[in-house]
A and B are shown apart, each in its own frame.
Chain A
Amino acid sequence: MRIELHDIYKHFGPVRANDGISLTLEPGQIHGLLGENGAGKTTLMKILSGYQAKDRGEILVDGRVVKFRSPAEAIAAGIGMLHQDPLDFPPMTALDNFLLGFDRRLRPDRRAGRQQLLELAARFRFPLEPEAAVERMTVGERQQLEIIRLLALGVQTIILDEPTTGISAPQKVQLFQTLRQLASEEGKSIVFVSHKLEEVEDLCQAVTVLRLGQVTGERLMPVPLDELVQLMFGQSLALPGKPAVPPGDVLLEARDLTVESPRLTITHAALSVRAGEVIGIAGMEGSGQDLFLRALAGLLRPKAGEVWLAGRPLTGRSYREFMQAGISLLPADRIDEGLVRGLTISEHMALHRKTPFFIRWEENRAYTAEQIRFFNVKGQPDSPVDALSGGNQQRVLLALQPAGLKVLILEHPTRGLDMESTRWVWEQLLKRRERGTAILFTSADLDEIMTYSDRVIVFFNGQPFPPLPVTELTVEDLGYMIGGKQPATSKPQPAAALPEA
């Protein structure tokens, strides 16, 4: 199946998400779609898969013009998309999800469906259990389920949008094997949307680079990485170094924390963080990092143990009191937790500044405009935050944080951001660190953890390894610990209460 996109336009108000993009997808090929955030990759693929309507342009499948008004029509034509966040039905079982949209009869044939699910899973060696609840499956397993569901629907072209976010390293290896198998043995076309250069290099035979809604280059792989970076950003960028900051007094202390959630319990976690220190937190998604950080931020009430800030106990205080004491949390879900969808940048500023009861809107808009310039946000004071790209949402979030913060807790601060925004975010964080703010962050990017942390904690299955100075660690060590094994070079154990030196 050969797909041609001709001159696709899609504008959201003043934002030109797709500005005349043309692209050809050959059968049996893995085609990389590369670009920084807001380059228009996802929009283009949503148009191709029927989720979004284009403003202008043509889609040709095997030379025939097609028009998709819904994802169902695209799937019927053989085009299916795997979204960045799985669009499945968590409370239902794997089999239910598999049958959805596939067996439309009033009473689906569960036995045949089960048979087919197991056959497909076996073909790609996916360890899927038909009766498992989807909400208990990992992101990687949900992705595997979605892939075989699309295959069962007879899809010839599979689009994967940033599929390696949130899945484990072995799952990634397996995913890549599967994609190669589908392309070479079954002649499927694969579109691999990513901003991760190494992955595109590793997997793709052809690559199209987008920048600001336009195609900046089409190449057959292999291509030197420098050239791709040039196409993506216009220039090569280096990550900023980390200046040495002498650690200050102990600021934040967790003593013997026990945090419970329906899925996981952390017991007896301990940590003490000094002013100006950066603590990186690694681990498979859902190993307890989020629970630990949210307990430190006051958003979750620990079952037992204490949280102290600057020599004062905060245990049992409300989340607002944690905030007033100088602890701030930047959630990973920027648009649904960090910001309020539908409110403008200016309204967010008014919420976060200590504005008087009667808001002076003109003054606030002027202040917002100033902050927008200073933080280099692509948007207007009256832009709703949901119209901004991920990187710009993160800039707004950072602009909203008060200056004298004691502790800044960030979940995946640069997830989904392009290099330019990533670099900028860390510049801002390091500046705050020089002024004595302690920074705790989670990341799935081990290079990021190694580059910016002073000490690193790895979570495995709800238990933290004791914090280790980054100077005593290698990426390989981290990899071992994330997998629950003790590294070859040093000897820490996932242990109960281990305060650091």
Chain B
Amino acid sequence: MSKHHVSTTINGEPVEFLCETQHSLLDALRDELQLTGSKEGCSSGDCGACSVIVDGRLVCSCLMLAVEAEGRQVDTIEGLAHGDRLHPLQQRFLEAAALQCGFCTPGLLVAAKALLDRNPQPTETEARYWLAGNLCRCTGYDKVIRAVLAAATDVQEGARKA
């Protein structure tokens, strides 16, 4: 079985990789590209630990075939910070203690980024429903939601200052 050659863009950088037909984007990210920040929690699109943004849309990378990344823009947790400058979401997660084990954290951050891209000032209810696809078993979501809402304000203020 010959492998497929895929040309794509990941976190703004052109990337090429080889994959088998049945491989998910998550398999390619983790096993071929060593981008292990995206996590596999269920492989059925229920837990959101593998969340990535593809052409501006939030997707579970376990539900997308690797070959489908051809010509797309894929954003993963590894691209959220700019060098040593953390994204406001990351900073607020740290300050609010919005993580315990940290396994669901990359997926939650990517999903929250997709939320703020679309809805810069979500209400608590909007944030809760948007993040309902990202399971966290440790935190009870309280501090996660607080961090996301605080980061939304930071992003707004950052945009105003710019």
Q: Do A and B bind each other?
A: no
